[in-house]
């Protein structure tokens, strides 16, 4: 049994003093904004329903405050921090825990790919067999929120939960329904793989520095049965992503440049109508199931 040492209470006055003492300042370009509402931090921990059977991944260690709270209840925490100064600070604030692994790394190798070094470390910890559930918990920096969520869902990691704070605009897209202004590629991809629930809207004063927009705490539960229903996940992801590059066009207009030199307009129209799709309709009017079916009836196009 792991003792539960006291974790740092990340109030605004504590945080300012801590950063000043270490000569650190939040960097806007990295989206560094820290949760300073203690009640909300506790609410977030409760929503994760942590146990000693959990291996938890955290993106953005920050000061190590949330890391320490997770470590007090989980089996192990792997926390990834891109900023060397905050990495050292997180090390200081979690040194009392023997169930924390901190990595100084960028979670993304590039926008479309998770860092192989981080993935390798996650897999090594998981393959040790010490834990039976894998979860992701994070106050996600706005600048990486979308690619982190999408790439983790597309990965082969056996994640059971993603519990993340993100920009309200992204939260609205994640749970958006067809034919609404927020419905987009990320809506389709995430809902095709998981169940999404916005748990709480978060005003800017819950953070420091204060962001200019509201945030949200979102629970994403990956569903293996949804994933299994998609014949070729890589192709589905590519098709949906590319269609929404031409969001304002009708379905034929979005697909036509993708199949240039491969299918004529007439052939594309015939193929769509043959399978019950209106070439002049818009992709954002299609359900998630319709997008999956579209990926099954359309041939692959050249890169």
Residues 146 and 73 in one domain: yes
Same domain, 68 and 167: yes
d(CA 76, CA 78): 7
For residue 269, what is the domain's CATH number? 1.10.8.100
Residue 26: per-residue pLDDT: 72
Confidence at residue 10, expressed as pLDDT on a 0 to 100 scale:
64
**Among the listed residues 149, 188, 153, 160, the one whose alpha carbon sits nearest the alpha carbon of residue 294:** 188
Q: Strand, coil or helix: what is 134?
A: strand
Domain boundary among 228, 259, 275: 228
Domain termination residue (choose one: 228, 262, 289): 228
The answer to whether the CB of 8 falls within 8 A of the CB of 68 is yes
Position 5 in a domain:
no
Q: Are residues 152 and 250 in the same domain?
A: no
Residue at 2 is within a domain: no
Whether 4 maps to a domain, the answer reads no
- Tokens describing residue 129: 């067999």
Alpha carbon separation from 302 to 89, 134, 259, 262 (Å, rounded) = 48, 37, 7, 8
**Mean of pLDDT values over 267-278:** 97
Tell whether the model's pLDDT for residue 9 goes beyond 70. Answer: no
CATH code of the domain containing 24: 3.40.50.150
What is the average pLDDT value for the chain, to the nearest integer?
92
Cβ neighbours, 10 Å, residue 45: 18
In this structure, is residue 122 part of a structural domain?
yes
Give per-residue pLDDT as tens, 216-236: 999 999 999 999 999 999 999
Question: Which DSSP letter does residue 190 get?
Answer: H
**Phi then psi for 219, rounded to 5 degrees?**
-105, 125
- CA angle, residues 301, 152, 140, in degrees to nearest 5: 125
Same domain, residue pair 117 and 208: yes
Q: Does residue 242 share a domain with residue 201?
A: no
**Same domain as 250, residue 169:** no
User: Binning pLDDT at 50, 70 and 90, where does residue 5 land?
Assistant: very low
Q: How far apart are CA 44 and CA 38, in angstroms?
A: 10
Q: Which domain holds residue 90?
A: 12-228
Residue 45: inside a domain:
yes
Q: Is 302 among the domain residues?
A: no
Residues 64 and 193 in one domain: yes
Which residues on neighbouring strands pair with residue 165, listed in sequence order?
Answer: 139, 217
The pLDDT tens digits of the residues spanning 180-230 come to 999 999 999 999 999 999 999 999 999 877 888 999 999 999 999 999 999
89-100: average pLDDT: 95
Asked, for residue 3, whether it belongs to a domain, the answer is no
Residue 112 has pLDDT above 90, yes or no: no
pLDDT confidence band for 4 (50 / 70 / 90): very low
* Kind plus residue range of the DSSP H or E element containing 220: strand 215-222
Q: Are residues 81 and 204 in the same domain?
A: yes
Say whether pLDDT at 303 is over 70.
Answer: no
Give the pLDDT score at 109: 93
140/23 same-domain check:
yes
Q: Read off the pLDDT of residues 50-70 as tens digits, 9 standing for 90 and up.
A: 999 999 999 999 989 899 999
6 found inside a domain: no
In this structure, the answer to whether residues 288 and 159 fall within a common structural domain is no
Across 79-103, average pLDDT: 95
**Of the candidates 164, 160, 169, which has an alpha carbon nearest to the alpha carbon of residue 193?**
160
Cα gap 277→256, rounded to integer Å:
14
Q: Are residues 136 and 259 in the same domain?
A: no
DSSP character at residue 283: G
pLDDT at 30: 64
Average pLDDT over residues 132-148: 95
Per-residue pLDDT band for 266 (boundaries 50, 70, 90) equals very high
Total domain count, the chain: 2
Residue 46: which residues within 8 A CB-CB, separation 6 or more? none
Alpha-carbon dihedral angle through residues 158, 160, 166, 172, given to the nearest 10 degrees? 110
In the chain, what is the straight-line distance between the N-terminal and C-terminal CA atoms, in Å?
Answer: 53
Contacts of 98 (CB under 8 A, 6+ apart): 2
Domain end marker among 209, 228, 247: 228
pTM of the model: 0.91
Together in a domain, 90 and 155: yes
Is 78 within 8 Å of 58 (Cβ atoms)?
yes
Taking alpha carbons only, the member of 36, 42, 37 closest to residue 63 is: 36
What is the pLDDT confidence band of residue 253, given thresholds at 50, 70 and 90? Answer: very high
In percent, the amount of the chain with pLDDT more than 70 equals 94
Picking from 172, 168, 174, 124, the residue whose alpha carbon sits closest to that of residue 153 is: 174
C-alpha torsion angle, residues 259, 251, 112, 107 (rounded to 10):
180
């Amino acid at each position: 049994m792991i003792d539960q040492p006291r974790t740092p209470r990340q109030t605004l006055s504590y945080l300012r003093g801590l950063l000043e003492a270490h000569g650190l300042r939040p960097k806007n370009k990295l989206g560094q904004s820290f949760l300073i509402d203690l009640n909300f931090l506790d609410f977030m921990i409760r929503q994760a329903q942590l146990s000693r059977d959990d291996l938890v991944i955290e993106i953005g260690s920050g000061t190590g405050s949330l890391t320490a709270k997770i470590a007090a209840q989980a089996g192990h925490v792997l926390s990834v921090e891109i900023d060397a100064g905050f990495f050292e600070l997180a090390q200081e604030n979690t040194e009392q825990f023997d169930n924390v692994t901190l990595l100084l790394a960028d979670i993304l190798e590039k926008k479309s790919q998770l860092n192989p070094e981080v993935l390798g470390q996650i897999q090594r910890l998981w393959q040790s067999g010490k834990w039976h559930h894998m979860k992701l918990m994070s106050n996600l920096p706005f600048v990486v929120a979308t690619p982190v969520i999408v790439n983790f869902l597309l990965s082969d990691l056996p994640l059971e939960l993603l519990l993340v704070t993100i920009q309200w605009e992204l939260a609205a897209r994640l749970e958006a329904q067809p034919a609404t202004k927020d419905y987009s590629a990320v809506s389709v991809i995430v809902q095709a793989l998981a169940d999404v629930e916005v748990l709480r809207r978060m005003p800017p004063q819950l953070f420091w520095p204060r962001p200019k927009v509201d945030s949200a705490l979102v629970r994403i539960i990956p569903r293996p049965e949804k994933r299994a229903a998609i014949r070729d996940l890589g192709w589905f992801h590519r098709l949906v992503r590319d269609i929404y590059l031409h969001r304002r066009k009708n379905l034929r207009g979005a697909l036509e440049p993708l199949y240039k030199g491969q299918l004529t307009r007439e052939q594309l129209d015939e193929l769509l109508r043959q399978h019950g799709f209106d070439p002049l309709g818009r992709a954002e009017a299609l359900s998630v199931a319709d997008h999956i079916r579209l990926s099954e009836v359309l041939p692959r196009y050249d890169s």
